[in-house]
Amino acid sequence: MGMSIRRLAAACGAEVIGADLVRPLDAAAVQQIHRALGEHGVLLFRDAGITPEQHIAFSRQFGPLEAHVVGEFHLAGHPEVFVVSNVREEGRLKGAVYAGQYWHSDLSYMSKPSLGSLLLCREMPEVGGDTMWANMYLAYETLSGPMKRFLGGLKAVHDYSHAYDTYFAALKERPPLTPEQKAKTPPVEHPVIRTHPVTGKKALYVNPGFTTGFAGMPEEESRPILDFLFRHATRPEFIYRHKWSVDDLLFWDNRCTMHYALADYDFTVRRHMHRTTLAGDEPF
């Protein structure tokens, strides 16, 4: 049986049916998934049931992988796998707790942000712990003509430290970035409106987690516009919300979506995930 794509929601998201995650895909299947990713923003592979080695091998079929700057949360023996987890063993967290509990696009703070991420669910509470994705194509397309023209000439500043200065500031489990980590992640500038290299469509490219302002514009001018764009981009009709099951693998496109991990579950219940990250290119 061939591979097929089934939409999951009106906003974004689709399920890939019939893909073999263990054996190498042929070139046509890789191309089909690449195209579906750009069109739908988020792809679901159910019942993945793959090992870390298989997770890495499957991911590499779509491009080179990169390791996260916070190296203490890499999976032992597999630096390509970033662990997102509230699980403790011998008093030590096994992964990044509170990760992604704000709207963001992975690694937008890098000069070449990630193409996409592949997150595999290992353990999940029965209630809560969903993840939401916002369609940034729709966020752009539904702006007025004057706003599109205004934003089209701007660049935005993205800074990883912003997440630590705001969302993580009061969380002892997420200590401040080290000087070495900050040196690897200086503020960068990207177009506010970026063009997707596969679909050719335009998407809004700012996010609350890492975007601090517009290049050359003071805070008092930037902030009201950013606040509007953040509200606009997260309108309910632009969002796909996924309820996780163990062995779900979600592959999302950071070039045309942003996402938010909901912290609405009992943190004494185990939530444990493995993520690989595909290297990207410079936004244009």
Tell me the per-residue pLDDT of 104-162, one tens digit each, with 9 for 90 and over. Answer: 999 999 999 999 999 999 999 999 999 999 999 999 999 999 999 999 999 999 999 88
User: How crowded is residue 175: how many other Cβ atoms within 10 Å of its Cβ?
Assistant: 9
**Residue 85 domain-assigned?**
yes
Q: Reply yes or no on whether the pLDDT at 7 is more than 70.
A: yes
**Residue 283 domain-assigned?**
no
**Residue 195 domain-assigned?**
yes
**Residue 284 domain-assigned?**
no
Cα separation, 248 vs 50, in Å, equals: 10
CA distances for 60 relative to 74, 166, 186, 196, angstroms: 17, 33, 27, 20
Nearest to 253 by CA among 140, 121, 113, 129: 113
- Domain span including residue 227: 4-278
**Residue 133: predicted pLDDT:** 98
**Residue 266: predicted pLDDT:** 92
**Residue 53: predicted pLDDT:** 97
First and final CA of the chain: distance in angstroms?
38
* Contact residues for 202 (Cβ-Cβ < 8 A; gap 6+): 137, 140, 141, 193, 194, 195, 196
Work out the average pLDDT over 48-65. 97
* Contact residues for 11 (Cβ-Cβ < 8 A; gap 6+): 133, 134, 135, 138, 237, 238, 239, 240
Give the CATH number for residue 225.
3.60.130.10
Task: Give the chain's mean pLDDT.
Answer: 94
**Residue 73 domain-assigned?**
yes
**Residue 127 domain-assigned?**
yes
Which of the four pLDDT bands, split at 50, 70 and 90, describes residue 1? low
**Residue 54 domain-assigned?**
yes
Whole-model pTM: value is 0.94
- Catalytic residues, which ones? 104, 106, 259, 275
Q: What domain count does the chain have?
A: 1
Cα separation, 249 vs 251, in Å, equals: 7
